[in-house]
Amino acid sequence: MKCPKCQSNNEKVIDSRDTHGDWTRRRRRVCISCNHRWTTTEIPTEMVNELIALAQTHLAIEEAYRDVFGKSRGVLDKVFGR
């Protein structure tokens, strides 16, 4: 990972914590070159796949609703910018 300040690849993790159960992991990082510190939030690949499947299910429900009633509920339109 590159340092957001100096773009160096010289960094190390100084703290790591699970947040929101097993959904995300927060890592505190420090750049060896310039001593800049920052935090990253990581989502496991399995969770990303589950979120994509959930979003696709919601889209399918919205399309079925639109086919039946001829209009959108509007909630997902705002979320997905349609």
**31-49 confidence digits (pLDDT tens):** 999 999 999 988 888 788 8
pLDDT value, residue 3 = 92
DSSP 13-64: EEEEEEETTTTEEEEEEEETTT--EEEEEE--HHHHHHHHHHHHHHHHHHHH
Same domain membership, residue 39 and residue 25:
yes
Same domain membership, residue 49 and residue 37:
no
Same domain membership, residue 69 and residue 81:
yes
Same domain membership, residue 9 and residue 39:
yes
Same domain membership, residue 49 and residue 38:
no
Number of domains making up the chain? 2
Same domain membership, residue 32 and residue 57:
no
**2-33 confidence digits (pLDDT tens):** 999 999 999 999 999 888 776 788 999 999 99
Range of the domain at 74: 44-82
Same domain membership, residue 48 and residue 36:
no
